[in-house]
Structure 1
Amino acid sequence: MSKNYVAGSEWGDSTRSQQSWTCVHKWLETCIQSHKSCSSQPSVASWKPTRLLDLGPMGAKLLPRLIEHEEIPAGVVYATLSHCWGSAKVFKLQKGSISTAKNQVSFRHLSKTFQDAVEACRRMKIRYLWIDSLCIIQDSSEDWDAEASRMEYVYNHCVINIAASHALDGGWGLHTDRDPLILQPCPLTVTWDDGKPMDMLCADLDDWIKRFDSEPLSTRGWVVQERLLSPRICHFSGTQIIWECNEAFASESFPLGFTSNDHKFNIRNLRGLTSLTTSSEDHLKWDCWRDVIRHYSSAGLSFERDKLVAISGIIRRMRDVFQTEYLAGLWWKGIEYQLLWAVHREGKNMPTRSSVFIAPTWSWASLNGAEIDLYSHTNTQTTPSLYRGRYLLCRAIDAQVVPASSTTICTDGHIHMQCFLVPAFITPSTFGWYDIAVPIHEKRLGRQPLISLFTIIDVHMTNRGELNFWLMPILDGLEDKHLEGLLLYSNNHEEGIFRRYGSFRLRGVIDLDNLWKSVFEFEASALEARHSNIGLYDKVWKYQIGSKKEEKYEKCDA
Structure 2
Amino acid sequence: MLCDVCIGMLSQRKGLVMHGTLQPTFEHHKSTKTLRHSRDMQCPVCTRLAKTLSLHTDLAKDQGLSVQATLNRERGYGKETGKRCFKLIFFLHPNRECTFFLEETDQKASSAPRNHTLKDVVETAQGWMNHCKCAKFWDEPGVKWYPRRLLDLQELRANPQDPQRARVRLVESKECLGQPEKRSIFHHAPAKRQNDRYVTLSHCWGKPGPNLPPPLKLTFETEKRFKNEGIRLHELPKTFRDAVMFAARLDRVGFIWIDSLCIRQPILKEGRNKAEEERDWFEQSRHMGAVYQKAFLNISATASKDGQGGLFFNERPAHLWENNVYVYCPEERPSVSKNGPPERDVYAKCSLIDTSTWDDLVEYAPVNQRAWVFQERLLAPRVLHFGYNQLAWECREFNMSESHTSNELGIKPSRTNGFIQDARLKHLTPAMGRSLREARLSGMSDPDQHIRDLYIYELWKKTVESYSQTALTQHKDRLIALGGIAKLFQEDLFGVDCRQIYVAGLWSRYIESQLLWQVNDVYNGNGLYDNPGKRHSEGGPSWSWAAIESPHGITYGDVTDFKTPQSGQARPRDELLFKVVDYKISLADPKNPFGMVTAGRIFLAPRHLHRIELRKQSPSHGVPYIWHLKPPVQQTKRPIEYENSYLDAPDSDADVFAPTAELYCMPAAFGMRTVRSSDRYLYCLLLKCEGRVSVPPNTPGKQGSVYRVFRRVGITQVGSMFRGEQEALLKQGMTQEVSCLC
Q: Structure 1-normalised TM-score?
A: 0.84
Q: Which structure 2 residues correspond to residues 56-455 of structure 1 after superposition, within 5 A?
A: 56=154, 58-61=157-160, 62-73=166-177, 74-75=190-191, 76-88=196-208, 89-103=214-228, 104-125=230-251, 126-139=253-266, 140-193=277-330, 194=333, 196-262=346-412, 269-273=424-428, 282-320=453-491, 321-322=493-494, 323-347=499-523, 350-354=532-536, 357-375=538-556, 383-385=559-561, 388=564, 391-403=575-587, 405-419=592-606, 420-429=608-617, 432=623, 435-439=626-630, 447=637, 449-455=639-645
Gap change, CA 1:197 and 1:17, over 3 Å in 2? farther
Shift of 1:301: 0.9
Q: Which residue, 666, 679, 682 being the options, matches 1:472?
A: 666
Shift of 1:333: 1.2
Q: Which structure 2 residues correspond to residues 523-534 of structure 1 after superposition, within 5 A?
A: none
* Cα distance between partner residues in 2 of 1:208 and 1:396: 42
Gap change, CA 1:491 and 1:316, over 3 Å in 2? closer
* Cα distance between partner residues in 2 of 1:136 and 1:146: 9
* Cα distance between partner residues in 2 of 1:111 and 1:434: 48
Q: 2:666 aligns to what SS in structure 1?
A: strand
Gap change, CA 1:384 and 1:72, over 3 Å in 2? farther
Gap change, CA 1:387 and 1:280, over 3 Å in 2? closer
Shift of 1:492: 4.7
- Greater shift in the superposed pair: 434-443 or 114-123: 434-443
Assess if the C-alpha contact under 8 Å between 1:5 and 1:258 holds in 2: no
Shift of 1:360: 1.1
Q: Which has the larger radius of gyration?
A: 2
Assess if the C-alpha contact under 8 Å between 1:438 and 1:518 holds in 2: no
Gap change, CA 1:263 and 1:52, over 3 Å in 2? farther
Q: Which amino acid aligns with 1:484?
A: Y
* Cα distance between partner residues in 1 of 2:260 and 2:429: 26
Gap change, CA 1:385 and 1:30, over 3 Å in 2? farther
Q: Which residue of 2 aligns with 1:53?
A: 151
- Greater shift in the superposed pair: 204-213 or 132-141: 204-213
Shift of 1:41: 9.5
| % identity of equivalent residues | 27
Q: 2:512 aligns to what SS in structure 1?
A: helix
Q: 2:392 aligns to what SS in structure 1?
A: strand
Gap change, CA 1:138 and 1:312, over 3 Å in 2? same
- Greater shift in the superposed pair: 448-457 or 219-228: 448-457
Assess if the C-alpha contact under 8 Å between 2:609 and 2:664 holds in 1: yes
* Deviation digits for residues 289-339 of structure 1 (CA, Å, limit 9, x no counterpart): 111111111211111111111111011112224432212111211111111
* Deviation digits for residues 401-422 of structure 1 (CA, Å, limit 9, x no counterpart): 1126335432111111001211
Give unmatched runs, 5+ long, in structure 1.
Answer: 377-381, 523-538, 547-558
Q: Which amino acid aligns with 2:427?
A: G
Q: 1:71 aligns to what SS in structure 2?
A: helix
Assess if the C-alpha contact under 8 Å between 2:533 and 2:548 holds in 1: yes
* Cα distance between partner residues in 1 of 2:366 and 2:731: 52
Q: Which amino acid aligns with 2:263?
A: I
The total of aligned residue pairs comes to: 516
Assess if the C-alpha contact under 8 Å between 1:118 and 1:129 holds in 2: yes
Q: Which structure 2 residues correspond to residues 470-509 of structure 1 after superposition, within 5 A?
A: 470-476=664-670, 479-480=678-679, 482-492=681-691, 496-507=708-719, 508-509=722-723
Gap change, CA 1:262 and 1:197, over 3 Å in 2? closer
Assess if the C-alpha contact under 8 Å between 1:449 and 1:514 holds in 2: no
Assess if the C-alpha contact under 8 Å between 2:487 and 2:594 holds in 1: no
Q: Which residue of 2 aligns with 1:518?
A: 732
Assess if the C-alpha contact under 8 Å between 1:2 and 1:200 holds in 2: yes
Gap change, CA 1:373 and 1:281, over 3 Å in 2? farther
Assess if the C-alpha contact under 8 Å between 1:234 and 1:243 holds in 2: yes
Shift of 1:436: 2.9
Assess if the C-alpha contact under 8 Å between 2:108 and 2:324 holds in 1: no
Q: Which amino acid aligns with 1:512?
A: Q
Q: Which amino acid aligns with 1:459?
A: A
* Cα distance between partner residues in 2 of 1:441 and 1:91: 64
Q: 2:481 aligns to what SS in structure 1?
A: helix
* Deviation digits for residues 52-96 of structure 1 (CA, Å, limit 9, x no counterpart): 111017444452211103124225421000000111232211212
Q: Which amino acid aligns with 1:67?
A: V
Gap change, CA 1:280 and 1:178, over 3 Å in 2? farther
Q: 1:488 aligns to what SS in structure 2?
A: strand
Assess if the C-alpha contact under 8 Å between 2:138 and 2:144 holds in 1: no
* Deviation digits for residues 157-190 of structure 1 (CA, Å, limit 9, x no counterpart): 0011000001111111100002341322444222
Assess if the C-alpha contact under 8 Å between 1:157 and 1:230 holds in 2: yes
Q: Structure 2-normalised TM-score?
A: 0.64
RMSD: 3.3
* Cα distance between partner residues in 1 of 2:236 and 2:633: 74
Shift of 1:8: 5.7
Shift of 1:134: 1.0
* Deviation digits for residues 389-437 of structure 1 (CA, Å, limit 9, x no counterpart): 5621111111111126335432111111001211111213599586532
Give unmatched runs, 5+ long, in structure 2.
Answer: 1-101, 161-165, 178-189, 209-213, 267-276, 335-345, 415-419, 433-449, 524-529, 565-570, 672-676, 693-705
* Cα distance between partner residues in 1 of 2:520 and 2:710: 23
Assess if the C-alpha contact under 8 Å between 2:513 and 2:559 holds in 1: no
Assess if the C-alpha contact under 8 Å between 2:685 and 2:712 holds in 1: yes
Q: Which amino acid aligns with 2:732?
A: S
Structure showing greater relative contact order (alpha-carbon pairs closer than 8 Å, 6 or more residues apart): 1
Shift of 1:440: 6.1
Q: 1:383 aligns to what SS in structure 2?
A: coil
Shift of 1:121: 1.1
